[in-house]
Amino acid sequence: MSEACRDLLSAVLAEAGFNRASEESGLDQGTRCTKCLIDLGIGCGDQTIYLMCKKPIRPSDEPWWDRREHCVKFDHYVGITKDKTQARYASERLAELRLDGNEKPEVALFCADAAKPTTWNEQLTATIRHSQAKSQESWVLALDSAYHFAPSRWQLIEYSHRHLAASFMAFDLCISPTATFHQKLMLRILTTLTRAPWCNFMTPMEYRARLVQAGYQADRISITDVSENIFTPLAEFLDRQDKRLSVLGLGIGSLRIAKHMFAWWGRTGVVRGVIVVARQS
């Protein structure tokens, strides 16, 4: 699972055009742009460590570490998570990163609601302003989080374009344009149970139109469907884990519902997993 999460992040970075070889070439030629990343929904900070550290910090990081071919240097990093427990744990990981003798990252983590930038406190907004002032290029990342943003993802995306002048990259969920009424009804029930606002579920074409409405130019937007590599494999993984645990008289508990949901998504295509990139002009 940790390797799959890493590969998903790497796929988003690749779709956004990040490549470490090109970065090193730009550094040699003096053309490299300094970059700021605002990372929304960082969880417990694993992706923070992966993005900002050249090598694993904990032994548990080593099995899922890779060559980071698409992980370029972000000169300034601002991570945000709404969950206080996750924020505390991520901060502990950040402390370990700062103790590493080979790393002196410009990293700041905050506990805030990523979906509502107008509620961000002065310290957070000042940190973003400071990071952007020292960077030539700004990106906002929402890795498997934007479809949970309430009341919708669009307040944040519009803020990213109009106030931060930042490009946007994400792994997100869309609804299939061929979804039937019954499938939409079932999906609406599921989104209610998982606290994912129904208004966040739109077709890829509708998503693109809303990005244009938010201010991004149509020819600077890409939406890539990666569903076949997401839902069925995830359902199969959960099924294998359930069978392994059953030998001990255990199981995956409430994740059984998720297993059946992902299998349904993979089988019918009613939900599409997409990588979204909207570049600032």
For residue 281, pLDDT beyond 90? no
Tens digit of pLDDT for each residue in 178-212?
Answer: 999 999 999 999 998 888 999 999 999 999 999 99
Average pLDDT, the chain: 93
> How would residue 243 be classed by pLDDT, with cut points 50, 70 and 90?
very high
Most confident of 94-98, 121-125, 239-243, 256-260: 121-125
In a domain, 259, yes or no: no
In a domain, 58, yes or no: yes
Instruction: Give residues with Cβ within 8 angstroms of 178, minimum separation 6.
Output: 269
> How would residue 137 be classed by pLDDT, with cut points 50, 70 and 90?
very high
In a domain, 156, yes or no: yes
In a domain, 242, yes or no: no
- The pLDDT value recorded for residue 131 is 96
pTM: 0.93
In a domain, 238, yes or no: no
In a domain, 152, yes or no: yes
- Print the domain residue range for 44: 2-174+201-226+270-278
Tens digit of pLDDT for each residue in 47-75?
Answer: 999 999 888 888 989 999 999 999 999 99
In a domain, 96, yes or no: yes
Domain at 145, CATH number: 3.40.50.150
Tell how strand 271-278 and strand 35-40 pair up. Answer: unpaired
Work out the average pLDDT over 134-150: 96
Work out the average pLDDT over 92-107: 72
CA dist., res. 200 & res. 198, Å (int) = 5
Structural domains of the chain, count: 1
In a domain, 25, yes or no: yes
- The pLDDT value recorded for residue 251 is 87
Measure the CA angle with vertex 109, ends 104 and 115; round to 5°. Answer: 145
Q: DSSP strand E in 99-166: where?
A: 107-111, 137-143
Share of the chain above pLDDT 90, in %: 78
Which among 155, 179, 160, 151 has a CA at the least distance from the CA of 264? Answer: 179
> How would residue 153 be classed by pLDDT, with cut points 50, 70 and 90?
very high
